[in-house]
Amino acid sequence: MREVDIDAVSLDRLGSLLAPERAARLARYVERARELLAGRTVWNVNATAQGGGVAEMLQFLLAYTKGAGVETRWLVLDGDPAFFAITKRLHNLLHGMAGDGGPLGVAEQRHYSEVLTRNHDRLESMVRPGDIVLLHDPQTAGLAGMLRGTGAHLVWRCHIGRDEPTELTEIGWTFLRPHLEAADAFIFSRRAYAPAWLPDDRLWVIPPSLDPFSAKNTELSPADVDAALREASLVNTSQDHGSLRFTRRNGAPGTVRGHRRLVLDGAPVTRGARLVLQVSRWDRLKDMGGVLRGFAEHVDDLPPDVHLMLVGPDVQGVSDDPEGAEVLAEVRGLWQALPARRRSRVHLACLPMDDIDENAHLVNCLQRRAAVVVQKSLVEGFGLTVTEPMWKAKPVVASAVGGIQDQIIDGESGLLLRDPTDLDSFAKRLQDVLVDEEYARRLGTAARSRVRDLYLGDRHLTQYVDLFEQLYQQASDRGAGEGLGSGH
């Protein structure tokens, strides 16, 4: 288990975007949090510090938490390939997908517990009575029972799920249930994701949120977008303007490096092309292959200047996803099988993971360069890859699954695909926004407003304060309030 450094960021920065009443409410919650958590630490434990929405969300939420004067720390599990194969299996099952079809029996339970026991030994030595420990996703669930004797308040946060339970989801929950019963509270992105056996009085619904000041979301000029994509050899752009500089999470300056092999096999996007973009992990549930097929099979129905770009992480830089390389190879095989004329309008790219701030900046540039952003997931927990382009006022075409359907009002703040596997409908929805620029502009404008109203970090942080306050109150009601903090 290793610790991730957190750089404090003032909440005043976030407050500058909010209406006065909303900013004042945030300030009141900050004072409540300082009083409630005085002398205590909020711990977050997950599987990786980079690659995926959970890690990105922790980066900014914990920076704001620390900037608010609350002691917070972030730990990342150590696991071996067998452990991450088991937890990827659980991830797929909770989404209602078979995944690799492997077992989840006695041997898998034993190995899962053995790995978490090794991680627990360090964590237990640091956690104190009255602290709060937030455990994220199936990888960490087994720590709940192990930490029961520490006197800390244990919260399990599940970022994944499926609206309707199936036999497959039940297999996943059966594996996890014995580990979770010790938790004091459970957080889901949607109420439908929670299994029926969870008690309502310990259940919280807290959707994810977006940081508008992160390297992935901060405002950029068109010239700076062009310069970064040119330097990274992702898009052939003009040569005579724009800056390569960006601001890192800790406020330090960064510069886009020269890259030459981020686009796999083929050429960068041609200058002047309009871009249909999907940015995702190389995960079968994100259906990158389906996006490629849907675009390529209907390319003649789309304007001739439109290209598709599928972008994911360098699979060597994502330690907790053993299927990434396999999925990427499958998508490359689909690309290579296309006729040359269609292949020239489809581009696959892997972004480097050795500098996560540069990675985020390049994603920001690609999303701002895109004419349409796609998220054609087969299932989805929430989908920050939808929230991000919505904040950038881009028209989004996405599947009506999971948290995506909470974010997008169909025909108003984006377009929803009722059946993600219907490639004809997918192509038609692309065509709708590509041939009508005014329609695309209206969708994008409404999308940005919806994110501002519902999915910025102040809402997320205040919900956490409400949860923590309830945990301490419940402990006090049970006669266990001694030493909890100056506010109780």
CA separation, residue 235 to residues 207, 264, 292, 332 (Å): 34, 13, 19, 19
Q: CB count, 10 Å around CB of 470?
A: 16
pTM of the model: 0.91
Helix/strand/coil (H, E, C) string of 63-123? Answer: HHHHHCCCCEEEEECCCCHHHHHHHHHHHHHHCCCCCCCCCCCHHHHHHHHHHHHHHHHHH
Alpha-carbon Rg for the chain in angstroms: 22
pLDDT at 29: 96
> What's the confidence (pLDDT) of residue 320?
62
Contact of 237 with 230, CB cutoff 8 Å:
yes
What is the separation, in whole angstroms, between the first and last Cα of the chain? 33
* Owner of token pair 């929670």: 194
Dihedral sign for Cα 16, 18, 21, 24, please: negative
Whether domain 2-209+457-477 has CATH 3.60.21.10: the reply is no
Cα(191)–Cα(181) distance, rounded to whole angstroms?
18
Q: What is the pLDDT of residues 121-178, one digit of tens each?
A: 889 999 999 999 999 999 999 999 999 999 999 999 999 999 999 999 999 999 999 9
Of the CA atoms within 13 Å of residue 147, those in its CB half-sphere come to: 34
Chain centroid to Cα 308, Å, comes to 22
- The helix (H) or strand (E) run that includes residue 350 is strand 346-351
Q: Are 299 and 431 in contact (CB under 8 A)?
A: no
**Which stretches in the chain have pLDDT values below 50?**
480-488
The one-letter code for the residue type at 221 is S
Sequence spans of domains, the chain: 2-209+457-477, 222-454
Question: In CATH, what number does 222-454 get?
Answer: 3.40.50.2000
Angle at the Cα of 136 from the Cα atoms of 51 and 360, rounded to 5 degrees: 25
* Helix axis angle, 423-434 to 437-454, nearest 10°: 100
Q: Three-state DSSP class for 189?
A: coil
Cβ neighbors of 200 (< 8 A, separation 6 or more) are none
For 373, list phi and psi in degrees, rounded to 5.
-110, 135
Reported as type and span, the H/E element at residue 245 is strand 245-247
Residue with tokens 């997950």: 46
Fill in the amino acid letter for 97: M
Q: Look over the chain and give the mean of its residue pLDDT values, rounded to a whole number.
A: 93
Task: Please state, as a whole number, how many other Cβ atoms lie within 10 Å of the Cβ of residue 409.
Answer: 14
Please answer whether residues 334 and 289 qualify as being in contact, where contact means their C-beta atoms are separated by less than 8 angstroms. Answer: yes
C-alpha to C-alpha distances, 437 to 27, 274, 434, 440, nearest whole angstrom = 40, 12, 7, 5
Asked if the domains 2-209+457-477 and 222-454 are classified in one and the same CATH topology, the answer is yes
Chain segment 282-296, per-residue pLDDT in tens: 999 999 999 999 999
In contact, 268 and 230? CB cutoff 8 Å: no
Number of H helices, E strands in the chain: 18, 16
pLDDT of residue 476: 86
Contact 269, 371 (CB under 8 A): no
Give alpha helix (H) positions in 311-412: 324-336, 340-343, 356-369, 384-391, 404-407
- Residue 480: the pLDDT is 45
Measured between alpha carbons, how far is 460 from 12 in angstroms, rounded to an integer? 16
DSSP strands (E only) in 71-144: 72-76, 132-136
Q: 229 near 373, Cβ under 8 Å?
A: no
- The whole-number pLDDT of residue 481 equals 44
pLDDT at 322: 76
DSSP state of 303: -
Pairing of strands 253-255, 245-247: antiparallel
